[in-house]
Chains A and B, each alone.
Chain A
């Protein structure tokens, strides 16, 4: 090891060492000369004699260098320098090769860094390997309280948290920040200590003596407080409740959720201050809490699960919800299960795993196409250098030495490509993550390049260097030392080297076609999703997400408040009509129940219907036509007969084609179904997402709800082109009615967009990859044709001289290329058909073997291929025979 360091030291300072040695040897010589003179020799003679005895100084220096540098290192260094000089000499080649690879490697690294931070990177906390998550959805707070009683006994600590978005504003339009309710033990169990101030502790789980406290993320401190030093002790308004900032979390820590940042964390104990009488802390059927535990040293996950199941009966019995018997049995029996949580918990993972994997495959294919291109370019260069290489062979260089020279070149290109690729990756991955964000969730991923990403890039660079380098090495195998003596200037049509490049082109075309087909399929999926008829008219509708929680109006009077808000909004200039609903279509959330008089949910999903509660005028505002019957009226309120309006799909599924008006339907209830009399039939409209299409929906009058939740949607239809003015007016009107309520404006564009994030992302990426592959294949094809024309210059010149027509020459060149395209094309179609099944689930209303898409992709590819081939072919046809023949 020490020897290695000394070697390194030598390499770094070797020019000084060489100088030292030369001086040393000169001293040696001088001393010898003196000795000779003392022995009586003439000075002149002594100088000669001592020089002669010395031998060649250079040789000695070289020998010494051999001692220090292993011969291989020295030779490699020489190769690298030679390769660098070679690349410098042909800047165009170098530029194309490096740029291609930079795009290929960059796209791979960018995607991988997302994959890494989402799937692979451990949480930035102490010993993340021993963290485990209680899986199977969220839990109720009472369940967590029970589990907490056993945390010291069964585990090495446990904590709970619940995601929440907090409103920072004092009133009016909401200013939302991602945050979480947490149990005080979270920081201690994770081993996270504060950057400034203190973190939350188990003491914060009890009532706070000094008022409610909050800790904030380092990022939020920078963004919201401008990174000022006096932030500790400052006030932060969350949901209209003042909190005191007591600490700043360390940079890079955003809580146990991956893909989402918790910029503000407050104790669960503060939740009743915010939700007041609607606090969920005591609710036994509100599933909103996540639980994570740390294993004891040496405890396996199976042991921990077994230990937890040991106390499961107690935990379950203590927390029984008010449910029908059958459901309680299931509640008691469902076993607790722990899963590893080294990488934290993430909702994004489930949503994006499949598309991300598909894209990783796609981008890998792009890199292969890029490598094929570089291989092809390098091969062309190697063949152009045939004379030089065969001279080297003739002078005794080993074939391995020549191969190394060529590999060094591809390695240089790969390294430069990887370095540029990292820059591209940095930019592209941030861009992609921004694409993931929707109105529902700001996506945050830590995309710093860690050793995994850098290692991955290095691996890619090496792999590309080898893949790209092998072809030229195979190509030069056929070079014989005596080639240099023959005339290699005259090309012959049946050049064997051409075959290697031909294979590369076929592969490129095949892979590009597959990628183009994929791009086509995903694009069409995305487009058809955005073109699904929604069933309502989203233009000019202003959606206001209301939160009545901060209002002082008691819960029972929310109906009245809602009505006042609706009236106030209707009076705003530019508003044609306004209505309130519990659910907003395409917002992603839903409310469902089963139809019929069964006391518990049936197994058959087809017995379920979606529900919305609305005020009169909602259909008009949304632009959903009523096909028969009537809309709700102010008279449909509590005390009156329960009424409902159903949509076409509901009528078709549950009313068996009979005229719906006047019929009675029952909606599931533990007591055996609540009856509703149908008074109207509405046209179908999308409920949750365009992908689900039209689903059975039943509408109930808002005024007949006994309890109203705090979050409601107010929809207003504006006069076209006046959205901005209307929004300002609506905001003022709402604040006038109740200054405390919180609200946020949405548009249906935003809502619809959020339902197709995944498809948009995939379409975007696959189009980019498809385009890139197409471009690369085009360049590859062009290179091959240009090279072939170059090799056959003399032959073509003779043909032209003998009277061949330009069109004939073009045909001559293209015939060969046509074969290559056809071969690649056939293989590509085969590959595409074979791989189709894998992407079927990601498509919408489209067969993965859709002939139209295949045809379009094929036409695009063939046209690009023909253009790429035609340009050099055309140039060949214009060759001046006189010039060519004189050259020969």
Chain B
């Protein structure tokens, strides 16, 4: 299988949260999402396609994102993903939940 792949130790659902966040700025295609996540995470998060595409399909299935064929910056046919209003709500909700979770984990680790 490929070189890098899902940081499998991510908390479940985190990948979807990251994608939602990436899409919050505007429509992106798959490769752009991966690049965005890689760059903004300072090269830490390298998402593989076999994780990315199922995750994207889950967003479609839940109605959080929509997909449409468009043209990429270098004139390639690419599929662009756009956040739907319900996706935006989901982002807010999941973000709060994620914060709560991280906070909780942090507290556990701090405990003596």
Contacts and interface: CB of A to CB of B under 8 A. Distances in A.
Interface in A31-67: 31-32, 34-35, 52-56, 59-60, 63-64, 66-67
A20 B77 CA distance: 11
A78 interface: no
B112 interface: no
Contacts of B77: 23, 27
B53 A32 contact: no
A145 to B, nearest CB: 67
A52 B1 CA distance: 7
Contact of B53 (A2, A30, A63): A63
Nearest to A17: B57
Nearest to A30: B76
Contact of A56 (B1, B3, B63): B1
A54 B30 CA distance: 12
A270 B1 CA distance: 92
Given A2-B63, A25-B49, A20 B1 contact: no
Nearest to A27: B78
Contacts of B98: none
Given A52-B3, A53-B4, A31 B53 contact: no
Contact of A60 (B50, B62, B76, B78): B50
Contacts, number: 78
B85 interface: no
Contacts of A66: 54
Interface in B23-58: 29-31, 34-35, 48-50, 53-54, 57-58
B61 A67 contact: yes
A32 B30 CA distance: 11
A6 B61 CA distance: 6
Nearest to A20: B79
B3 A53 contact: yes
B76 A55 contact: no
Given A3-B62, A27-B78, A60 B3 contact: no
B110 interface: no
Contact of B30 (A10, A24, A35): A24
Interface residues of B, number: 27
A456 B7 CA distance: 54
Interface in B55-79: 57-58, 60-63, 72, 74, 76-79
A736 interface: no
B49 A60 contact: yes
B92 interface: no
B13 interface: no
B63 A55 contact: no
A31 B76 contact: yes
A53 B48 contact: yes
Contacts of A59: 1, 50
B57 A68 contact: yes
A28 interface: yes
Given A27-B76, A31-B76, A53-B3, A64 B63 contact: no
Contact of B50 (A24, A31, A63): A63
Name the prevailing secondary structure of the A interface residues: helix
A28 B33 CA distance: 10
B53 A27 contact: no
B14 interface: no
Contacts of B61: 3, 6-7, 10, 67-68
Contacts of A67: 54, 57-58, 61
Contacts of A20: 79
Contacts of B54: 60, 63-64, 66-67
B12 interface: no
B79 A24 contact: yes
A348 interface: no
Contact of A64 (B3, B5, B57, B62): B57
A21 interface: yes
B2 A27 contact: no
Specify which of A21, A28, A53, A56 lies most central, judged by the most chain B CB atoms within 10 Å of its CB. Answer: A28
B64 to A, nearest CB: 11
Contacts of B57: 64, 67-68
A31 to B, nearest CB: 4
Contacts of A23: 77, 79
Interface of B: 1-5, 29-31, 34-35, 48-50, 53-54, 57-58, 60-63, 72, 74, 76-79
Given A27-B72, A31-B76, 18 more contacts: A3-B63, A6-B63, A10-B61, A24-B30, A27-B77, A28-B31, A35-B35, A53-B2, A53-B3, A55-B2, A55-B5, A59-B50, A60-B54, A63-B50, A64-B53, A66-B54, A67-B57, A68-B61
Interface of A: 2-3, 6-7, 10, 20-21, 23-25, 27-28, 30-32, 34-35, 52-56, 59-60, 63-64, 66-68
8 contacts: A3-B63, A7-B61, A20-B79, A27-B30, A28-B30, A31-B72, A55-B2, A63-B50
Q: Which 7 A-B pairs rank lowest in CB-CB distance, beginning with the nearest?
A: A55-B2, A31-B31, A67-B57, A63-B54, A55-B1, A24-B79, A60-B50
